[in-house]
Amino acid sequence: MLAKLSKILFLSALLAFVTSCSEYAKIQREEDPQKKFEYACKLFEQEKYPKVIKLMEPIYLRFRQTKDAEMADWIMAYSMYKRGSYDMASYMLNNFAKEYPLSEKNKEAAFLGAVASYKLSPESYLDQEYTEKAITMLQRYIDNYPTAENISEADKMVRELNAKLEKKAYDIAYNYYRMEEYNAAIVAFSNVLDDMPSTIYREDIMFNRLKAAAIFANKSIADKQKERYTDAITYGRIFLKQFPKSKYSEEAEAIIAALESDSSTLDKVLKNIGKDEKDVKAREIKKQLKKENKSKGKNGAQQSETEKK
């Protein structure tokens, strides 16, 4: 009995499937856009999104300026999203939100359009156009719908995307450090701190800026070293003030101590150089005076001899 019932159910399902396929094939050949649209709406309710797209793509623009325009745009945009065509979905959903501000689907379109861009956001080392676009769209959604039920989800995505931008900026700066372009690294690290003051990488950036500045100072010519030692020491003190319990504190203190010692040594060297230069100059003046006096003495003797004659 059960086996017979199972067979009947299977055959019924098979018949329904064949009938559905036959009906879908028939509607595809239909020339009346309205009939295709109505059938696409039916498929949409059944969540058969790829079929909706295939049926609607050639005709949905024909419904612009008609009473069905909003529905046509919505089922296309939403179906694109559900199929995973996030590039098109982002574009279409964003357009829907702009064109139908009073639609009951406006809020959902704005959110899903932003989510589609979020899903397109690549790894941090790649171009971040979609990341920036997603942040803009999500922030607009948060501003427009501050009490929405999914606002915490939107906030979380914004934080994640911002962290990706911060990682890219930090990696670019650190790459200068790795390539031993220390001055460029200092500038790049400082720019990240200025542009992204609350970055999650702030501690690492400030410590690496200190290291870059210390190496840059040590490799500089004597005329530039004093100023660069001072800058590096300042970076170190700012770092320790902001992160007194950092995992880098001990190393930072050691770097600062070495910089202060090198700066002090430099002061002594420059002082001695100055003294030596003065001594050399004094000897040269004394020698010149002696030479002049000798010359005067010789000239005087010659003059006396002439007068005697």
Instruction: Say what the pTM is.
Output: 0.75
Neighbour-count burial of 158, counting CB atoms closer than 10 A to its CB (0-12 exposed, 13-18 middle, 19+ buried): buried
In this predicted structure, what is the pLDDT of residue 285? 46
Task: In whole angstroms, give the CA distance from residue 177 to residue 213.
Answer: 10
Mean pLDDT of 128-146: 96
Mean pLDDT of 281-306: 51
Query: Is the torsion defined by CA of 138, 141, 143, 145 positive or negative?
Result: negative
Using one digit for the tens of pLDDT, what is the confidence trace for 25-84?
887 777 788 999 999 999 999 999 999 999 999 998 899 889 999 999 999 999 999 999
**Model confidence band, residue 270 (pLDDT cutoffs 50, 70, 90):** confident
Is the pLDDT score of 4 beyond 60? no
What is the residue whose two structure tokens read 């979905």?
89
Is the pLDDT score of 12 beyond 60? no
More confident residue, 120 or 293: 120
Closest CA to 85 of 63, 54, 60: 54
Q: Where do runs of H (alpha helix) occur along the chain?
A: 2-28, 33-45, 49-56, 69-83, 86-99, 106-120, 129-144, 151-178, 182-195, 202-218, 222-242, 249-308
**C-alpha 190: how far from chain center:** 14
- Domains parsed from the chain with CATH numbers: 180-291 (1.25.40.10)
**C-alpha 60: how far from chain center:** 38
In this predicted structure, what is the pLDDT of residue 10? 42
Q: Do the beta carbons of residue 225 and residue 259 sit within 8 Å?
A: no
Task: In whole angstroms, give the CA distance from residue 261 to residue 214.
Answer: 12
Task: In whole angstroms, give the CA distance from residue 215 to residue 185.
Answer: 11
Using one digit for the tens of pLDDT, what is the confidence trace for 242-266?
999 999 999 999 999 999 999 888 8
Nearby residues of 72 by Cβ (< 8 Å), 6 or more positions away: 37, 56, 60, 63
Using one digit for the tens of pLDDT, what is the confidence trace for 195-220?
999 999 999 999 999 999 999 999 99
